[in-house]
Amino acid sequence: MITLEQCQQWDAADILAPLKNQFELPQEVIYLDGNSLGAKPKKAAEKALAVINQQWGTDLINSWNKAGWWDLPVRLGNKIGKLIGANDNETVVTDTTSLNLFKVLASAIGIQKQKDNHRKVIIAERDSFPTDLYMIEGFMAMINQGYELKLIDQPTTLPDIVTDDTAVIVLSHVNYRTGYLHDMAAVNQLAHKHGALVIWDLCHSIGAVPIDLNGSDSDFAIGCTYKYLNGGPGAPAMLWAHSQYQTAFNQPLSGWWGHAKPFDMAVNYTPAGNVRRFLCGTQPIVSMNLIECGIDIFLQTDMQALRKKSLHLTDLLIQLIEQECSGFDLTLITPREHHHRGSHVSIRHPHGYEIVQALIARGVIGDYREPEVIRLGVTPLYLSSVDIWQAVQHLKEVLQTQQWAQPQFQTRRQVT
């Protein structure tokens, strides 16, 4: 039996525990939704005021040079690169995950067409986060060149569908619903054996699990900064391109920030000879600056230490749910194997939505995903073993008392 006392002992030995003090979290709240929106670093408000009052308010347009606004996408990209196994000047922070997927997909397809135009298959998972599928569909409809989207229903079936006709594979490194973690190196090796390129969606893995894009021989990657990286709501996304593919094809969103000499004001577009060619228009400077507050906390530790704590906490969450909440029709859909588990735990229940709403009313904030999935994010930077213990006790009480059946928890909100 796992006890509260045991959880307190684990917390007393946790070398990462002091990092929680760098976040501003409401008292009496157990935040299990950092995989959807990360918590606010304490320095974020100070940073925002400095950008608004000094850089914008006082220095005005001089801040493009004086405060380094122009180089911010690459400077932040280089910091993020330390978390994902990237070299300097391979990563930029810009736009949204959806737009970045469009850019790298167009680049990957363009590279493949230059080599061999017979490859007409794009592979993705049916259980991808929907925006990925929507962007792929939109891209194929726009170019109208006979491409086919093939969807896999289980990760284990990927080797059966990849052939020499495959152009690009688009996969979420960690599945947003189940928390399944792909073996990045193995997938890359499989794809390259057949001449295909891989685009990794890192939204639910960046800042949550160790990533080595260069070491695993990856091609392209995109991802959020507002989840585990704690960049703030709607913060710009990241984009990574292997150095050999940065200039191999001109991505089609050819905005002036991606120009080789933007202030020449040339009539014709000449792309930058580096990763900056993946930039489009003027960047959202205020929100982009806030991203650095979260990244700097990560750089005080390392992803291996965070991964060790993440696995401890997700193990604990799974074990406590089974210990405390047996007999309540809960079904674990997150892999038990560490090799295939991200940093959130998902369980199914016929009344999953209502249970999540009842938990939120108690100050235990998770989220819900169709169908019937209670999703509980585990962020090692600011969660403890005692937090997990207390969250499961609340879940147990919600189930035992059927608090979830109360009328106020039955109405579906716009955001679940």
Mean pLDDT (the chain, rounded): 97
- Which residue's entry shows tokens 């969606």? 201
Query: pTM for this one?
Result: 0.97
Between CA 110 and CA 252 the distance in angstroms is 10
Which CATH fold would you assign to the domain 4-42+302-409?
Aspartate Aminotransferase, domain 1 (3.90.1150)
Which phi and psi (to 5°) does residue 182 adopt?
A: -75, 150
Between CA 375 and CA 367 the distance in angstroms is 5
Nearest to 179 by CA among 384, 83, 35: 35
In the predicted model, what is the mean pLDDT of residues 224-249? Answer: 96
Nearest to 311 by CA among 175, 181, 176: 181
Q: Please pick, among 276, 341, 362, 375, the residue that the annotation labels catalytic.
A: 375
Q: What is the pLDDT of residues 261-296, one digit of tens each?
A: 999 999 999 999 999 999 999 999 999 999 999 999
Query: What are the angstrom distances between the C-alpha of 274 and each of 102, 196, 271?
Result: 18, 23, 8
Strand stretches in 69-196, DSSP E:
91-94, 121-125, 148-152, 166-172
Between CA 62 and CA 75 the distance in angstroms is 18
Domain with CATH 3.40.640.10 in the chain: 70-298
222 within 8 A of 238, measured Cβ to Cβ: yes
Between CA 80 and CA 292 the distance in angstroms is 9
Give the model's pLDDT for residue 17. Answer: 97
Give the model's pLDDT for residue 117. Answer: 79
341 is catalytic: no
Between CA 240 and CA 246 the distance in angstroms is 9
Between CA 31 and CA 20 the distance in angstroms is 12
Between CA 325 and CA 379 the distance in angstroms is 22
Q: What is the pLDDT of residues 387-404, one digit of tens each?
A: 999 999 999 999 999 999
Strand stretches in 254-356, DSSP E:
331-332, 344-348
How far is C-alpha 392 from the chain's CA centre? Answer: 25
In the predicted model, what is the mean pLDDT of residues 248-263? Answer: 95
Q: Is the pLDDT of residue 371 over 90?
A: yes
Give the model's pLDDT for residue 360. Answer: 98
Share above pLDDT 90 across residues of the chain, in percent, rounded to a whole number: 98
Q: What is the pLDDT of residues 82-97, one digit of tens each?
A: 999 999 999 999 999 9
Q: Please pick, among 23, 31, 102, 129, the residue that the annotation labels catalytic.
A: 129
Dihedral (CA of 338, 161, 211, 126) sign: negative
In the predicted model, what is the mean pLDDT of residues 307-334? Answer: 97
In the predicted model, what is the mean pLDDT of residues 183-193? Answer: 98
Q: Please pick, among 227, 277, 309, 341, the residue that the annotation labels catalytic.
A: 227
Give the model's pLDDT for residue 116. Answer: 81
129 is catalytic: yes
Q: Please pick, among 95, 127, 201, 387, the residue that the annotation labels catalytic.
A: 201
Q: What is the pLDDT of residues 214-232, one digit of tens each?
A: 999 999 999 999 999 999 9
Q: What is the pLDDT of residues 67-121, one digit of tens each?
A: 999 999 999 999 999 999 999 999 999 999 999 999 999 999 999 999 887 999 9
Q: Is the model more confident about 380 or about 116?
A: 380
Q: Is the pLDDT of residue 416 over 90?
A: no
Nearest to 246 by CA among 288, 269, 222, 275: 275
Between CA 225 and CA 291 the distance in angstroms is 7
Domain with CATH 3.90.1150.10 in the chain: 4-42+302-409
Give the model's pLDDT for residue 315. Answer: 98
176 is catalytic: no
Which CATH fold would you assign to the domain 70-298?
Aspartate Aminotransferase; domain 2 (3.40.640)
Q: Is the pLDDT of residue 148 over 90?
A: yes
Give the model's pLDDT for residue 368. Answer: 97
Give the model's pLDDT for residue 316. Answer: 98
Q: What is the pLDDT of residues 35-47, one digit of tens each?
A: 999 999 999 999 9
Q: What is the pLDDT of residues 10-37, one digit of tens each?
A: 999 999 999 999 999 999 999 999 999 9
Between CA 245 and CA 104 the distance in angstroms is 10
Q: What is the pLDDT of residues 292-305, one digit of tens each?
A: 999 999 999 999 99
